[in-house]
Amino acid sequence: MILGFAPDSPQCARAECRAPAEMSVVWRNPKIHTPDRRKVWLACAEHADYLHDFLASRAFPVRVVDDVTDGSDVDLPEGPR
């Protein structure tokens, strides 16, 4: 998916990383977000795993997409109950 109207190139969400985003870490917090809610952290290829593990360690449903996306059409796995 191309974000054609973004004024700046999307960057990695990792602190102090200025690399252009190539991937999307799509997640939600089951405690505060409804099941259809999506949060997206954009990431470079190097930090996608770091961001995924950060969220997975909190037991949040999370999925890494190999593209820059708004997450609206991404299915998240069910979190632990």
Cβ of residue 49: shortest distance to Zn ion, in angstroms? 10
Nearer to Zn ion, 15 or 32 (CB): 15
DSSP state string for 16-52: T--PBP-EEEEE--TTTS-TT--EEEEE-TTTHHHHH
Nearer to Zn ion, 43 or 76 (CB): 43
List of residues contacting Zn ion (CB under 5 A) = 12, 14, 17, 19, 44, 47
Under a CB-based contact definition with an 8 Å cutoff, are residues 42 and 12 in contact?
yes
Cβ of residue 66: shortest distance to Zn ion, in angstroms? 15
Nearer to Zn ion, 30 or 50 (CB): 50
| Residue closest to 59 by CA, chosen among 38, 34, 31, 23 | 31
